[in-house]
Chains A and B, each alone.
Chain A
Amino acid sequence: MPLIKDGRIVEDDWVKVPDGEPVPADRPAIITFERWQAERDSFAGRNAALGVRVKSGTLAPAIAPDLERFALVAVEFPKFRDGRGFSTARELRERFGYQGEIRAVGHIIPDQYQFMMRTGFTSAEAPEGTNPESWARALTEITVAFQPSLDDPQPLSLLRRRLGV
């Protein structure tokens, strides 16, 4: 599935490993958070980067204790209407200081992309056959925001702000 970063389709360096299949030792790999919990000791000596895919019901505090082991957290949207992932990403960044990649996966639409970027996601896995133009446009079509974004240094003392200025 096409990976979107900064509004463009990019090469995906990560391999997604279904439960039960061997995890390549020499490539960045994403496993499920459930597998991580069950087999964590088996990754003790791993050198290549490890990422986890978390279900929308798995909130940031549940992932937090192990965050330093993960170079990537993929937050799943079972349905695009399920907005828990926005809070998860924000909490991973704001509350737990996570610096790695946060990827939106599952059922997501371009119309949510700007919200994702503003809550701490760094990439999004778009559905097969997606229109790349819609993702590119999603980052530029609205240029005003009424809240500070995650990386916005401005405090609330300015309610409205221009994005990307």
Chain B
Amino acid sequence: MNHIAPGRHAGVYTYDEIDRRFVAERVEQFRAQVERRLSGELTEEEFKPLRLMNGLYLQLHAYMLRIAVPYGVMTSRQMRKLAEIGRTYDKGYGHFTTRQNLQFNWIKLEETPDILNQLAEVDMHALQTSGNCVRNVTTDQFVGAAKDELVDGRVYAEILRQWTTLHPEFTYLPRKFKIAIMGSEKDRAAIRVHDVGVIAKRNDQGEIGFAFYAGGGLGRSPFIGKLIREWVPEEDFVGYLEAILRVYNQYGRRDNIYKARIKILVHELGQEKFTAEVEEEFARLRGPKYRLAPEIVAEIRQHFAPPPFEDLPATSVSFDGARVQNEAFARWVAVNVTEHKAPGYAVATISLKPAGGIPGDATSEQMDLVADLADRYSFGEIRVTHTQNLVLAHVKQDDLFALWTALEGAGLGTANVGLIGDIIACPGLDYCALANARSIPLAQAISARFADPARQQAIGELGIKISGCINACGHHHVGAIGILGVDKKGEEFYQITVGGDPTLTTAIGDILGPAVTADEAVDAIEAIVEVYLANRHDGERFLDTLKRTGHGPFKERVYAAH
């Protein structure tokens, strides 16, 4: 086996002595906080935000520990550590999240400091993965590999990761704060449903700048982020965010948890007034203290230097041959593999959505295998997508068949990325204390119903997103088909929405009709798909057909039996 030093060329920010000292100090700080809680010095109310900011969240049956994967990129060594923690402290699996993180669902409070110590060994932590602070900054899962990329979002996500870590002014915000950055013209990071969404771009002189959107979010009142500035020069990147956060920290509502997100502030003030407040604050802040100097950007950028790609021809004979000979492989390539900017390379997405499986779950064995495959085929680097899949970003076309064969052998070869089986689902009532209904069994039932990969491919691009309650962790509002679990007198019901869209043409789905039972929901999805297939014109995506026909035919068919 041709092992490259794990992670040497992985596109992650490499820790040095200062970073390691910081993480070690935080582990000790949390250990002391746990002791102070156990001794009664801290009340449960006081301890709660402290543990949340260390990633520890109390679910229905146990503590959940959410581990930060900055902008979703990690090394194979880190992945192996996650596998080991899963085996030692959890039930042998972990769950990849819509924030590109990983969470363990069966954690003991008293073991948490030890787990954090283990994570620190591989330069990982669980900082600010929960709580009313700035959370893990997310970006395009194809960053550094995508052909359409204009700016490498990791550089700026890392700058924000550092800038927002233990920010003394913004660690007790009215509510959580999520930022997403895209550096391509296509939006693969759902930036307009984030508290702040950023598009990194270049002007005619080749200089880097940013468009800022604010006030997007899902939850019980979904809002699409509003453009508040078309161009923020690179040197003002941090200063502008500082201005947004200061306005939010001072004026965001604190009287009602459901109205505390920045989206409500932007909505209540209005786009114009909010923008004016931010601009006024920014005008005051702007100065040497907040200036992001080109040298610091250059230093951070070094961490994300491209791996040493070989000079390869744009096409591979063995790859083309394998596709001709093996239909299943050809389908996997057509569905899960994306073009790479380097000739002869490809981006491979590993679906964590097998038919009948739990979306986003991976066993420790699967994590170990993906780590090995990353070492062998992708410079020891793995990405987590916000759709709860994994990515090997730099695979030689020549290696794709061997990669797929290994994945197939471990139940990781499902060819359904972006298709109907690629369901986003929140943990739901199986784990979550907030949920009204279960999400996972419904996701399993739907993906089992559409198990046939050929059928999925024929249906084409169609995202189903399921949330077990109105907090919308499963992003149901922006699912082409969204499903929301509701509780009706102790019984689980599901409300179906259609027409949601998480990309730059962001749209919130509309409710199709009355909520249905879990069994009816699976039939309803199938009915919607049939109406789509019967009505679609050549090359039309589900959303296009829906736009053209309106809800009528879908509604009629779904509720025909009622």
Interface residues of A (CB under 8 A from B): 59, 80-84, 86-88, 90, 95, 109, 111-112, 114-116, 118-119, 131, 134, 137, 141-149, 155-160, 162
Contacts and interface: CB of A to CB of B under 8 A. Distances in A.
Contact of B29 (A83, A131, A142): A142
Contacts, number: 106
A131 B172 contact: no
B249 A86 contact: yes
B3 interface: no
A114 B168 contact: yes
Main secondary structure of the interface of A (DSSP, over half): loop
Nearest to A161: B18
Nearest to B292: A156
B402 to A, nearest CB: 41
A141 B32 contact: yes
A103 to B, nearest CB: 17
Contacts of B300: 159
Nearest to B287: A155
A111 B166 CA distance: 11
A82 B49 CA distance: 12
B429 interface: no
B132 A160 contact: no
24 contacts: A82-B254, A83-B249, A84-B250, A86-B172, A90-B169, A109-B42, A115-B168, A119-B168, A119-B169, A131-B36, A134-B41, A142-B29, A142-B166, A143-B21, A144-B18, A146-B166, A147-B168, A155-B293, A156-B292, A157-B295, A157-B296, A158-B296, A159-B163, A159-B300
Given A115-B168, A155-B291, 6 more contacts: A80-B46, A86-B172, A145-B168, A156-B291, A157-B296, A158-B296
B2 to A, nearest CB: 36
B19 interface: yes
Contact of B25 (A84, A90, A142): A142
A141 to B, nearest CB: 5
Contacts of B41: 131, 134
Contact of A159 (B42, B159, B169, B246): B159
Nearest to A154: B289
Contacts of B63: none
B506 interface: no
B28 A159 contact: no
B296 A160 contact: no
Contacts of A116: 168
Given A111-B50, A137-B32, A147-B163, A81 B172 contact: yes
A115 B171 contact: yes
Max chain A CB contacts within 10 Å: which of B166, B168, B291?
Answer: B168
B289 A156 contact: yes
A144 B29 CA distance: 13
A136 to B, nearest CB: 12
The residue among B49, B172, B291, B293 with the most chain A CB atoms within 10 A of its own CB is B172
Contacts of B478: none
Contacts of B296: 156-159
A115 B291 contact: no
Contacts of B167: 146-147
B288 interface: yes
Interface string B162-186: 1111111111110000000000000
B245 to A, nearest CB: 9
B289 A148 contact: yes
Interface in B29-47: 29, 32-33, 36, 41-42, 46
B76 to A, nearest CB: 26
B259 to A, nearest CB: 15
Interface of B is mostly: helix
Contact residue range for chain B? Answer: 35 or more
Given A81-B49, A143-B25, A144-B21, A156 B238 contact: yes
Contacts of A157: 291, 293, 295-296
A147 B289 CA distance: 10
Interface of B: 18-19, 21-22, 25-26, 28-29, 32-33, 36, 41-42, 46, 49-50, 132, 159, 162-173, 238, 246, 249-250, 254, 284, 288-293, 295-296, 300
Contacts of A131: 36, 41
Contacts of A80: 46, 172
Contacts of B250: 59, 84, 87-88
B156 to A, nearest CB: 12
A115 B172 CA distance: 10
Contacts of A90: 169
A160 B163 CA distance: 8
A102 to B, nearest CB: 13
Nearest to B29: A141
A45 to B, nearest CB: 35
Contacts of B288: 155
Q: Which of B18, B165, B250, B288 is packed against the most chain A CB atoms within 10 Å?
A: B250
A87 B171 CA distance: 11
**Pairs of residues from A and B, 4 with the lowest C-beta to C-beta distance, nearest first:** A83-B172, A118-B168, A115-B168, A144-B22
Interface centre among B29, B132, B169, B296 (most CB of A within 10 A): B169
Nearest to A56: B254
B165 A146 contact: yes
B293 A87 contact: no
B291 A84 contact: no
Nearest to B251: A59
Given A86-B172, A87-B169, A142-B26, A109 B163 contact: no
A83 B293 contact: no
A80 B132 CA distance: 12
Contacts of B295: 157
Contact of B172 (A112, A114, A162): A112
A108 to B, nearest CB: 10
B175 to A, nearest CB: 10
A160 B166 CA distance: 12
A142 B172 contact: no
Contacts of A118: 168
Given A112-B172, A149-B168, A156 B293 contact: yes
A111 B173 contact: no
A160 B18 contact: yes
A160 B167 CA distance: 12
A34 B339 CA distance: 64
Contacts of B254: 82, 84
Contacts of B159: 159
Contacts of B289: 148, 155-156
